[in-house]
Structure 1
Amino acid sequence: MAKYNIALCIFLLSLLYITHGQLENEKSKKRKSNEFDVLIFTQRWPLTACFLWKESSEKHSCSLPKQEEWTIHGIWPTRYHTKGPQFCNTSLPFNPSVLTPLKNQLEENWIDVQNGSDPYSFWKHEWNKHGTCAVAIKALNNEYNYFQEGLKLLNIYNMMDVLAKANIVPGQKYMVENMLIGIEKVLNKRGQIMCAKDKKTGESYVNEIRICFNKTLQLVDCDDIYEFPTNCDRFKQITYPSSVPHDRRVEQI
């Protein structure tokens, strides 16, 4: 009987140990899934973004900034060579009232080109998908700080100014390599350029430019991020449009 009790105790302790280990592994996986290497600060060219929106439906119209400017798409915590993490913390719901002091700036600089949609829906999406992961960074540790930091980064690294310093201006065509080199010369760091391509004509339009930051918000090379350095055609000129392109079928690539 005593041997049976000892064996039972050993079995139960073993089971408890295994269960505890499994729980720790699950916790570890969850923690790991929220880890990231860099923050990608993504700016988009509203004229191309508008074209993509209009092309998806004849009923669509756009909201564009008052001035010809690059606008914020988001700050994206990212692991090297892949996308994400995303939607990290459902216990941090989006609160529109938090952004009231920033609303005017966001409406101009973090604009949703999709006319008719509630601007808060775009900001809510960015917060839920990316902001809840970025809170691991002290400077981005709540909703207000996340959006305020985006505005600060745009003020310092606005691609309108960066490209102009490299003699790259709207209304012209460029080899994507020259644009990448121009960005690197101005910022002393390598960024990423993303295009939208016209399937019928093969013409590519500049859509987004992404630059990278480490966890102390210091600018770093984007070398190891997904699709670095570009998805644009490397052998043809790409268009940096000065107006919304019309009458062409464009897909986001």
Structure 2
Amino acid sequence: MFCWLLPLVVCLSPAALLSDGTAEREDYKHGRPYQELSDGLPCSWTCLTFTLQWPGGFCQSLDNISLCSIPPRVNKWLIHGLWPMKVMRCCSCWPIFLSDVQEVQELLEEEWPSLVKSKSNFQFWKDEWKKHGVCAACVEGLNSPLQYFQKCLKLRQHFNLQKLTHTHVTMTPLGHVLLQAALVCCRALEYGGIKPSCERPYKLSEVLNVLVPLIGDKCEIQCITDDQEREVWFQVKIRLSRNMTVGCDHHDDHPRTTAIYKGHPCPTEGSFYYFPIDHQRPQQPCD
């Protein structure tokens, strides 16, 4: 048995070192290693942020907007990530392989594609797992790459910002509170009159009136300032407690957010734009 400190002890048998990695991948896929690595270490966080991004405004959030590319099939809000908040410590030594998420890969490509030219879909998922997923893995139901991404896809199904129909309202392991939140929402963006436009700016109160019944009043609507000094909506951060119920009281001071992205709360005074998606000119959809 070969061991080293990471700071947590990780041990590999000679067979594991000599194998093609299949057994190792299967162990990680089903969540077994975290129990071995954590050794009873409790979660250092109590809240998560489930973040959705709007492709029409996403490009403006990049330091180099020329890196942005929106695939032709993308025409809706996408997953950015599920991020534990106030993380003190977590294992950063848990690898992820494409085979770990193969059974949900098609859904991930639809709901969680990379919009950055230099980053493949899998690289995007891998980065999110390494930075955030491993921190969430101390909770049952999130304690493997597959379970983490499956949970994100279920959250995406519940939090459909553009349209909510009865087909989306089904009982799942997320619990009755999320189901109740979905039932309460009689209006999502499309039904509430909030539609992408280059001419029509929106006030924060207009957007919150539509979204709060669905995602709670502790959500954050994030904007970015474009090169013409316009406030552009590009992201929604939904506050969740550890048991995946809507709302949590901790402030979002997650230290592991990817540096390439930037943004701030949309202005409470004044207005902001909800740019349409332009696949040919993703960097300048309204110019």
TM-score (norm 2): 0.65
Which residue does the alignment assign to 1:48? 57
Which residue does the alignment assign to 2:219? 191
Q: CA deviation at 1:118?
A: 2.0
1:124/1:233 CA distance change after superposition, 3 Å: same
1:193/1:61 CA distance change after superposition, 3 Å: closer
Read off the aligned partner of 2:64 and give its amino acid letter: S
* Partner of residue 123 from structure 1, selected from 116, 125, 128: 125
Which residue does the alignment assign to 2:241? 214
Work out whether 1:236 is the aligned partner of 2:238.
no
Q: CA deviation at 1:64?
A: 3.0
1:137/1:100 CA distance change after superposition, 3 Å: same
Cα distance in 2 for partners of 1:85, 1:126 equals 17
1:85/1:120 CA distance change after superposition, 3 Å: farther
Read off the aligned partner of 1:142 and give its amino acid letter: S
Q: Give the aligned length.
A: 208
Read off the aligned partner of 2:266 and give its amino acid letter: C
1:89/1:74 CA distance change after superposition, 3 Å: same
Choose between structure 1 and 2: higher helix proportion: 1
1:179/1:115 CA distance change after superposition, 3 Å: same
Matches within 5 A, 1:146-161: 146-161=148-163
Tell me if structure 1 keeps the 8 A contact 2:159–2:214: no
Q: Which runs of 5+ in 1 are unaligned?
A: 1-30
Read off the aligned partner of 1:233 and give its amino acid letter: P
Paired-residue identity, %: 24
Q: CA deviation at 1:152?
A: 0.8
Greater CA deviation, 144-153 or 212-221?
212-221
TM-score (norm 1): 0.73
* Partner of residue 47 from structure 2, selected from 20, 31, 38: 38
Cα distance in 2 for partners of 1:97, 1:114 equals 22
Q: CA deviation at 1:248?
A: 9.1
Tell me if structure 2 keeps the 8 A contact 1:65–1:109: no
Read off the aligned partner of 1:246 and give its amino acid letter: Q
Work out whether 1:170 is the aligned partner of 2:196.
yes
Read off the aligned partner of 1:166 and give its amino acid letter: G
Q: Cα deviation per residue 1:51-71 (whole Å; 9 max; x = unaligned)?
A: 444x7164x350336142100
Q: CA deviation at 1:222?
A: 6.0
Tell me if structure 2 keeps the 8 A contact 1:43–1:159: no
Tell me if structure 1 keeps the 8 A contact 2:215–2:238: no
Greater CA deviation, 38-47 or 218-227?
218-227
Tell me if structure 2 keeps the 8 A contact 1:69–1:160: yes
Cα distance in 2 for partners of 1:131, 1:226 equals 17
Greater CA deviation, 96-105 or 112-121?
112-121
Work out whether 1:62 is the aligned partner of 2:69.
yes
Q: Which runs of 5+ in 2 are unaligned?
A: 1-40, 164-187, 255-263
